Chain A
Amino acid sequence: MSVDTSKVASSNGTNAATTTTKSSRLGALASWSDERLGLAAMGKKNLRKIFPDHWSFMLGEIALWSFVVLLLSGVFLTLWFKPSMSEISYQGSYAPLRGVEMSDAYASALHISFEVRGGLLMRQMHHWAAMLFISAMMIHLLRVFFTGAHRKPRELNWVIGSLLLLLGTLEGFTGYSLPDDLLSGTGVRAADGFMKSIPIVGTYISFFLFGGEFPGDSIIPRLYVIHVLLIPGLLLALIAAHMLLLVYHKHTQWPGPGRSETNVVGFPMLPVYAAKAGGFFFITFGVSALMGGILSINPVWKFGPYDPTKVTAGSQPDWYMGWPDGALRIMPGWESHFWGSTWSWNIFLPVIVLPGLLFTVLLLLPFLEAWITGDKREHHLLQRPRNAPTRTATMVALMTLYACFWLAGGNDLIATKLHSSINNITYALRALVFVAPCVAFWVTRRWCISLQRHDNETLLHGYETGIIMRSPEGGYSERHLPLSEAQAYTLTVRDRGRVGEEDELKPNGRPTLRSRIRTLYFDDDVQKPTIQELEEARAHAEHEAHAVATLEGHSADGHQFDGHHLTEDEPLRGED
């Protein structure tokens, strides 16, 4: 690539800096460490590693940096938090609770909130960063799936990412349970009920986790170790693996001129990407600080200490636990009793089986897709969602299912806000979780197909200019202009239908299950035009351009020709 650097400002050369041979201190330090660590071999390859640029590649970064914010603010909180359920009588500065019996854990959460300077800020930053962490992971996951970045060779990184989402959710639950306030205690109470619903072993799991009967005095210290050691350790290890695989595979990129499956176009790690990513860490951290400063979250002092005989109306978990809670709310109260045992389908199915099932589906999505399409190639160019209509529709259906369950998690709020019957809302949601995903699937798929058709239209007949032409006969038409070479190229970088090896027919002469699913998967896709169609369209456009060339240099809207203006040198609008 030749670049004219003559115009570049003096300080901003693109030439590599001359290697320093003088024995500067930095050089001495570099050789000292290289003689012991051999870093130069790695630095040579990675310091100028290329990362492609696109706003959507930043979503995963939000997750990564909010995790760092969680580590930092979390360490601060551990300096004061006491993970103990010993009963004490509160004597701190918050008058409404003075003299109230509470656990050490709750009292220390109050102490952090009221007496430790910056403690409330760190508590709120920690909670907000957790929200950012989980929502960023979810949106990042959607971006990856909608653009086909989960395809070979990145399937394992998809699996790691999904595990991160699961662990992040558990980390969130164990975290907000720690202050031992009334709201989180109610959540732990419900979790005890979930465990007990597991056939055969449920009671044992509950008794082992709680150190005997609920609530006991072991759950907070145990959740604490899980929250500050076990899960963060796993998260760190998996994040490291996620990043290593990202570096090894190199990032995906959008197709475009000069961007192919075999290259990666973008900016070098040092300096541009390091600066942008590093700067973005400060922005994520700063936004968390602003949120912690001005947006109240989880005001535990308002809820009071946990008491197994009390509850707040409208008890709701943090939003990311809302969907299993919703499934639990709309599940019919099915319970079977036989041979002296109780089978709580009403709890076991929605909060144990369903999340497990949906998570398994999530993990398997890349493998299911590869099995259906039979595509064994590597993919480094991203796809627009419209160019994989069935895939896009599948994820939208899953999102809709999630949304319905999540709405169900607020069925009481919907009822009170809309002044409607909670019974009817619940019945409607029961139907909606089955109907809405199907509708969403169908609408999305057709929508994508329409967009594919639209792409073909613009490829063949050019884009709409907004200029209305009037023919000498009085007919009106909109003027279309051909796409630029680069745009046309970008639009045509996509596969033409079924790419994988086709299965042979079964002995009975019928197609295999896989090939029937594959037909459904690709069936209605609109294929990009052939080169002949493109050339014909181009010839037609030239012919048309010739026909309107006589009008060139005249105004198109005709208002100037009202007899009050000189029209001799009027330029055609949009042709400046």
Chain B
Amino acid sequence: MSEVHDGSHEIEAHTDALLPDPGLPEHTWRPTDVDPKAEKRAERQVATLFGLSALCTVLFVVSYVTIRTGVNGPTILGWGASNVTLGLTLGGALLFIGIGVIQWARKLMADVEMVELRHPASSSEEDRSMTVAALQAGLEESGIGRRPLIRNTLIGSVALLGVPAVVMLKDLGPTNKDVTESAPYPGAGLEHTVWRSQMRVVRDVVGTPIRPGDLEIGDLVNAEPEIIFGKNKGVPVPEDQVLEGADLQIAKSKAATVLLRMDPDDIVNDVTRNWSVNGIVAYSKICTHVGCPISLNERTTHHLLCPCHQSTFDLADGGKVIFGPAGRHLPQLPLTVDDEGFLVAQGDYPEPVGPSYWERNTYSLEQVAKNYATKTGEETGQ
């Protein structure tokens, strides 16, 4: 930050100005500069503002102590009294100081504009050459140029230190492959959910099982697998199989399902028809776009719309995308009924639910159905 201005080191800045610079205009004095009365008045104004700030601060403490906070506290015009009074008094305490100080600056502090010369952003030639010389001397004495062996091994070893820094992050979390293989909780990995063959489809929140006859045509029901509620066929499962904490959240984030009953004749897709029961279809509630739970149902068209980015899926046609940014159909859950007449899953979702990921092996709906038939055929054949 040298302030030296020799002839060789000037700001290389020039903007053409057609006319001669008339120079700074003459200073005009403010009333407070020339009129002692105005000056005194301004002084009183500023002091009053500071006084008002102090008053607000006192009121702040008073409201802190006296006014009850929370939902059951008193209200002012429908607002929580505690928050409003604390906000107004704190705001006043701060604003009056701010306004007072600025008023002081504008009315009472000298307002004569002053001129300062700029210096060039660059250092002078002299500084530059001295720095280069110092740098060269230092490097020369270190011998870093003459001893490439030392230099290169140093660079290599320091660079290698980056590896532990990256490697140590590995335990930030298991990978998809890790959880899929070790399956530390039911339905682990992006390709699986907790849905199993013969698992009951129950209502979200309450967990009651559903008979096909419970649904009218046009009814949409948010559903979950029964295991979310810690039951199997209405019977509580053993303690160690109850899902809790993160395992429960992960299970819910993938297994959430919507049921829709439509007129069986409205179904236009064979796969959808095969996996339905009396016109009841079940689809993943997790959008194939970025994973929002889909919730907006257009009753007359069987269209389901995601509230996040408006992807729209046709539930009568294999969950096909008919509008919006989603790139894939909604996965369908094959349904059937158990001995007691409740809706159950034929098995897990035939394909991964939720947003796309690079490793996902994506097939058309027909291919998904074919693969599923082969897989279930093998399983029942065994």
Contacts and interface: CB of A to CB of B under 8 A. Distances in A.
A264 B15 CA distance: 15
Nearest to A278: B101
A423 B90 contact: no
Given A121-B87, A217-B245, A311-B307, A486 B22 contact: yes
Contact of B172 (A211, A350, A380, A485): A211
Interface in B203-227: 204, 222, 224
Contact of A528 (B18, B24, B94, B98): B18
A162 interface: no
Contacts of B22: 257-258, 485-486, 489
A470 interface: no
A536 interface: no
A381 B222 CA distance: 64
Interface in B57-94: 64, 69-72, 79-80, 82-88, 90-94
A312 interface: yes
A48 B113 CA distance: 12
B25 A257 contact: yes
Given A189-B291, A268-B114, A12 B108 contact: yes
A272 B14 contact: no
B155 interface: no
B127 interface: no
Given A272-B110, A279-B105, A311-B292, A95 B98 contact: no
B98 A286 contact: yes
Given A12-B108, A214-B250, A267-B113, A283 B98 contact: yes
A54 B285 CA distance: 55
B318 interface: no
Contacts of B18: 492, 528-531, 534
B109 interface: yes
Interface string A58-88: 0000000000000000000000000001110
A329 B25 CA distance: 56
Interface in B299-323: 307-311, 321, 323
Contacts of B99: 279, 283
A283 B13 contact: no
B105 A272 contact: yes
A331 B327 CA distance: 10
A87 B249 CA distance: 10
A181 interface: no
A279 B356 contact: no
A565 to B, nearest CB: 38
B117 interface: yes
Contacts of B172: 208-209, 211
A9 B33 contact: yes
10 contacts: A48-B114, A118-B86, A198-B358, A215-B253, A264-B116, A265-B116, A276-B105, A333-B289, A341-B361, A493-B15
Leading 8 A-B pairs by shortest Cβ distance: A293-B87, A193-B290, A335-B327, A282-B98, A258-B24, A286-B95, A286-B94, A279-B101
Interface of B: 1, 3, 10-25, 27, 29, 32-36, 39, 64, 69-72, 79-80, 82-88, 90-102, 104-106, 108-118, 120-122, 169, 172-176, 179, 188-190, 204, 222, 224, 244-246, 249-250, 252-253, 256, 285, 289-296, 307-311, 321, 323-328, 354-363
Interface of A: 1, 3, 7-14, 45, 48-50, 85-87, 93-95, 114-121, 124-125, 152-153, 186, 189-190, 192-194, 196-204, 206-218, 248-250, 255, 257-258, 260-268, 271-272, 275-276, 278-294, 307-315, 325, 328-335, 337, 340-347, 350, 376-381, 411-412, 422-423, 426, 485-486, 488-489, 492-496, 528-531, 534
